[in-house]
Amino acid sequence: MTWYAIERIDDAVSLTRSLLFPFEFGLWARLAVVVFFIGMGSGGGNVGTSVSNVPSTAASAPSTGASVDVPSIPGEIIALLAGIAMILLLVWLVFAWIGSTMEFVFVEALGEQSLSIRRGLGRHRGRGLRLLAFRLALLIIGLVVFLGLTLGLFWDPITTLLDGGDPTITGSQIAIGIGLLVLAGIVFGIPLVLVHGFTTEFVVPVMLARECGVLAGWKQLWPTITAEWKQYVVYVLIAFGLRIGTSIAGGIAIAVVAVVLAIPFVIVGLLFGLGTVVSGTLTAPVVAGIVVLALVFFLCVALVSALVYVPIQSFHRYFALLFLGDVESNFDVLGEIRPPLDDGFETSAAR
């Protein structure tokens, strides 16, 4: 029995090489733009922050004769942060729509080994909107499950805290809660991740090949999954291993560049912070300046990451497209550049 995922690794490398070399700056730049928005559309633009407040520590300090005053946040700062959050959400939704549309532009570019972003966006914006709606539905399902379990497990402490009381949670309660959340992550999280990944790697090309929507694409893909489930299991395992390897390599390169880029931003940020310390007040302009500074740094790192991930994303997507076409020829979007399974591949496609 031929395992398509094993056979197609070298072919994916060859197709990636034929697409990107000899080096052409214009093509790389356009692909970097596509990869950048794809990262935004698939969740790469989410930024998570966590803030821990420990007022009990300050309250327990009378034995030392010292006290810690927690400064109150002015209402205008809260309003500003809320406004910034809403603007960022709207911006992310626009980026996510463009990123979802770019999924189709990217697959089409890999098949044709040429890329026109403007033409692709115009042709696939409707498909991109449907894909975004499907992704948002998955995200909402995941959030509802996680938040529902969290509220169910820690309802009493949460309500006590909101009422201004002092909640108490035993170590056993925390251990049981974390264990149940991890179990829920396995039971619900893994299927959601697989659905998201299969939608991106398989349903998107099916939508292109069969000219259908997301649900219709899943309806056509599902029989191949049930009939060739062993092939898909092998693909998932190999693709997971390849992702780990390429993510480590790409992460190291991006980390080095990010450290270099961070130096001027840190200097400017320290100047903002020094002004706040001297004045003793946190003003709205200072907060806005720090947010803008952080966003500019984030965008710079994201653009560099896109360049680094052009060959990585091209390889992984070629790998998925080769596998999909082997499982079901009606889903093939590579056409003439698809190498046969039994023969070696030689670069012959021209841009």
Please write the tens of the pLDDT for every residue from 77-133. 778 888 888 998 999 999 999 999 999 999 999 999 999 999 999 999 999 999 999
Averaged pLDDT for residues 225-252: 96
pLDDT of residue 45: 35
Parent domain of 309: 4-46+75-337
**329: in domain:** yes
**61: in domain:** no
Query: For residues 319 and 9, what is the distance between their CA atoms, to the nearest angstrom?
Result: 6
**29: in domain:** yes
The model's pTM: 0.78
pLDDT of residue 78: 77
Nearest to 330 by CA among 227, 210, 193: 210
State the chain's mean pLDDT as an integer. Answer: 83
pLDDT of residue 274: 62
**296: in domain:** yes
**208: in domain:** yes
Averaged pLDDT for residues 182-210: 93
How many residues comprise the chain?
351
Q: What is the DSSP string of 307-349?
A: HHHHHHHHHHHHHHHHHHHHH-GGG---GGGPPPSSS------
> What is the tens place of the pLDDT at every residue in 308-319?
999 999 999 999
pLDDT of residue 193: 93
> What is the tens place of the pLDDT at every residue in 31-44?
999 999 998 776 44
Residue 140 reports pLDDT greater than 80: yes
Residue 48 reports pLDDT greater than 60: no
Total number of domains in the chain: 1
Single-letter amino acid, residue 43:
G
CA distances from 216 to 65, 135, 139 (A): 69, 15, 20
pLDDT of residue 24: 93
**344: in domain:** no
Residue 65 reports pLDDT greater than 50: no
**348: in domain:** no
Averaged pLDDT for residues 331-350: 71
